[in-house]
């Protein structure tokens, strides 16, 4: 099974050119599941059709979207997550993540979006999220996301997203089970490091990558990550798909 994650950088210009590049990237990589972050519904563009839905139409996939931050309820302007699948998922799961009211670095609401996908007689839960820019909120987001995954997913699971922190920071160390927070600890495996232990896997910024803030993390899939690669490094006429690079992984489900 092939899966991909990409923060699409909402409506930053030039959107139509970037939309084409993103769609071509997906079609070329041909993943079964694509987790997109920073997808917007904006009444000022494309008649309000969501960016995730636009990409779904161009790549012939089903879009499952969830707004996280609602800027204006009407006319509609929001930002959140979209997960693309070849067919409608078996199940959709949503968890709202905490904000820290006095943490001014980020006042946006965050969510975690999960889908259950059937593939070759097996089912897998795929979670998509985008953590806060605020340091305290980000650690809360990590704890809440792992708790959500733990309660929803007994079967193999994957977590994708822009987690807004480097691999050596507390949210990632918590998710990997290296530190405890309030008596709890995660048990996720970093797919990139498992497949490429000698490669830093920088994903930001696309035009000059210097650190990693985008992740593919697995649960109950030990030894089944076959490969992981960075995608979106090539510009088209000087235009990149996003300010982030994407990650494409391949896992065996049996």
Task: List Cβ neighbours of 232 (8 Å cut-off, separation of 6 or more).
Answer: 6, 25, 206, 240, 241, 242, 244, 245, 246
**Given this model, what pLDDT does residue 135 score?**
94
| pLDDT for residue 101 | 86
- Say if residue 106's pLDDT is above 90: no
What tens digit of pLDDT does each residue of 128-170 get?
A: 999 999 999 999 999 999 999 999 867 899 999 999 999 999 9
Q: In this model, does residue 69 exceed pLDDT 90?
A: yes
Strands 33-42 and 77-85: antiparallel
Q: CA 199, 202, 207, 208: dihedral to nearest 10 degrees?
A: -80
User: Domain segments of the chain: what residues?
Assistant: 2-251
CA 47 to chain centre: 25
Q: Can you give the pLDDT at residue 107? A: 82
Residue 232 pLDDT: 97
The CA-based angle 113-18-112, given to 5 degrees, is: 10
Task: State residue 5's pLDDT score.
Answer: 98
Cβ atoms of 7 and 130 within 8 Å: the answer is yes
pLDDT above 80 (res 120): no
Q: What does the pLDDT look like over 200-223, one tens digit per residue?
A: 999 999 999 999 999 999 999 988
pLDDT tens-digit series, residues 21-51? 999 999 999 999 999 999 999 999 999 999 9
pLDDT score recorded for residue 105? 79
Spatial contact of 196 and 228, defined as CB atoms under 8 Å apart: yes
Q: What is the DSSP letter of 48?
A: G
Q: How many CA atoms lie within 13 A of 46 on its CB side?
A: 16
Identify the CATH class of 2-251. Answer: alpha beta
Q: What is the pLDDT of residues 4-14, one digit of tens each?
A: 999 999 999 99
Determine the Cα–Cα distance for residues 98 and 136; give it in Å rounded to an integer: 10
Q: How far is CA 200 from CA 21, 166, 203, in A?
A: 25, 10, 9
Taking each continuous run of H as one helix and of E as one strand, the counts in the chain are 5, 12
Mind listing the pLDDT tens digit for each residue in 51-66? 999 999 999 999 999 9
């Amino acid at each position: 099974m092939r899966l991909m994650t990409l923060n699409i950088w909402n409506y930053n210009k030039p959107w139509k050119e970037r939309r084409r590049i993103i769609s071509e990237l997906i079609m070329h990589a041909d993943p079964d599941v694509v987790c997109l972050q920073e997808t917007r519904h904006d009444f000022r563009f494309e008649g309000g059709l969501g960016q995730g839905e636009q990409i779904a139409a161009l790549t012939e996939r089903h879009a499952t979207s969830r707004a996280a931050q609602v800027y204006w309820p009407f006319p509609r302007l929001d930002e959140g997550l979209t997960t693309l699948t070849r067919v409608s998922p078996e199940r959709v799961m949503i968890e709202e993540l905490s904000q820290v009211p006095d943490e001014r670095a980020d006042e946006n609401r965050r969510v975690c979006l999960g889908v259950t996908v059937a593939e070759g007689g097996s089912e897998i839960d795929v979670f998509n999220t985008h953590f806060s820019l605020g340091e305290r909120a980000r650690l809360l987001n990590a704890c809440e996301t792992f708790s959500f995954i733990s309660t929803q997913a007994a079967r193999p699971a994957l977590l994708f997203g822009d987690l807004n922190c480097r691999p050596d920071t507390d949210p990632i160390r918590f998710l990997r089970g290296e530190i405890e927070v309030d008596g709890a600890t995660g048990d996720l495996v970093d797919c990139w490091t498992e497949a490429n232990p000698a490669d830093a896997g920088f994903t930001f910024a696309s035009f000059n990558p210097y650190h990693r803030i985008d992740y593919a993390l697995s649960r109950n899939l030990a030894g089944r990550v076959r490969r992981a690669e960075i995608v979106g490094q090539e510009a088209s006429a000087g235009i990149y798909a996003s300010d982030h690079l994407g990650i494409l992984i391949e896992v065996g489900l049996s």
